[in-house]
Amino acid sequence: MAEYGKALRSTATPIPGLVVWDLPVHGDSRGWFKENWQREKMTAAGLPDFGPVQNNISFNDAVGTTRGIHAEPWDKFVSVATGRIFGAWVDLREGPSFGAVFTCELDPSRAIFVPRGVGNAYQTLEPDTAYTYLVNDHWSPDATYTFLNLADETAAIAWPIPLDRAELSAKDAAHPRLADVTPVLPRKTLVIGANGQLGRALRAEFGDAAHVEYATRAELDLADPALETARRWRDYEVVINAAAYTAVDAAETAEGRAAAWAVNVTGVAALARVATAYGLTLVHVSSDYVFDGTSDRPYREDDPLCPLGVYGQTKAAGDGVAATVPRHYIVRTSWVIGDGKNFVRTMASLADRGVDPRVVDDQIGRLTFTDDIAHGIHHLLSTHAPFGTYNLTNTGPAVSWAGIARQVFALTGHDPARVTGVSTEDYFSQAAMPIAPRPRNSVLELKKIRGVGVTPETWDARLRAALR
């Protein structure tokens, strides 16, 4: 019989993410009532907002009916409508808790949240037991399951009714022992734009882990109308969008404007729909160009967006779309330097070739090296930092492009006086194509990213290391 009058309460188990819940049951001579699933109260009490989409019921006539051990590729919230069960859970996920076991009884006043990859089994202790579970993905014939034998000697589950006297299927009886189980891998992480400067840094940061995939533009184009059906998205946990249209000046042309909006806005909107529909975490990389650069202080994450040119407008629109995803990180950066053609390499090449450049000296900011962006993204994901927007650049004093060029000349053994500082207007006065307006102040405040444990190196220290 259900225990009446409990308060809603959670109890952790030795298996990470497997949590037992006491449910308030209200009863009288007529029977009882409970809120089996109440999103607002339960998420406030710590239950993951796991987004159930299907409700299943397993009815069992006899005492001793035994089912499992099955690990499915979704989370579920298990409870009992009538009767009572002995439940057993075995962690079948890859990691240090693989093989951990937890058992307890469930009745209508007790439920349990079972994360993806944890094997689930039960044995009925009363006749006419109705076992119910909410899941956050629809059943699919393409889903991959992992199984463990109910009698596995390593798990050594103390079934109340010995298995030789219990009712179980031949299929469950034939499942493999723990030593033969292939652990369940984490849901996949997908890096889009994997051949760009940031994409290559993300490859170095995340490595060749089996659950991390990298897609180049040829393999997954943000502007492709078929993006939303391009992957079996329910198999993914995280999508990192390192792809963008970044030709700032070309975006001011008719052709470039269309391309910039297609990639930076329409493509991001498609990703946002996918992420929202499948509960994915979307990491979206943004730019200082979402601001007009007129502030007399570093820009904060919550400052109003006010872009100047087409590129900045598309990045600001993309930010607005990405922010609609319940699980999102918008990583805003500036003056990016990575593996490939970039400002630092250009200045070093000019210095070596004896060219004395004219460089803009009325735009200020900080360099940001792609390795530091990649590390920051990895940190946000691995520490489960609060979702939202984070500024991420290298630290150090604000400086102009001309100041950076002089540093490059000096560090490569050349006379920094060879660099002549000029205004933005003078620099572009002879340009033959449309020129995008640039923010004069690109300095981003870093208090928020430091608050979650990310402290990038100074840009000048990273510059020294890069030139070595």
Q: Is 4 a catalytic residue?
A: no
C-alpha span between 398 and 403 (Å, rounded): 10
Q: Is 384 a catalytic residue?
A: no
Q: Give the residue carrying structure tokens 């009815």.
A: 59
Which residue in the list 4, 70, 378, 379 is annotated as catalytic? 70
C-alpha span between 49 and 63 (Å, rounded): 34
C-alpha span between 316 and 291 (Å, rounded): 8
- The per-residue DSSP string of 346-357 comes to HHHHHHHTT---
C-alpha span between 301 and 39 (Å, rounded): 30
Using only C-alpha atoms, what is the Rg of the chain?
Answer: 28
C-alpha span between 9 and 414 (Å, rounded): 68
Q: Could you tell me which residues come within 8 angstroms of residue 468 by beta carbon, excluding any fewer than 6 positions away?
A: none
Provide the angle, in degrees to the nearest 10, between the axes of the packed helices 401-411 and 459-467: 40
- C-alpha distances in Å from residue 315, one per residue of 25, 243, 248, 312: 51, 12, 11, 5
Which residue in the list 122, 131, 133, 214 is annotated as catalytic? 133
Q: Could you tell me which residues come within 8 angstroms of residue 156 by beta carbon, excluding any fewer than 6 positions away?
A: 101
Contact 371, 430 (CB under 8 A): no
The DSSP letter of residue 444 is B
SS3 204: helix
Which positions are annotated as active-site residues? 70, 133
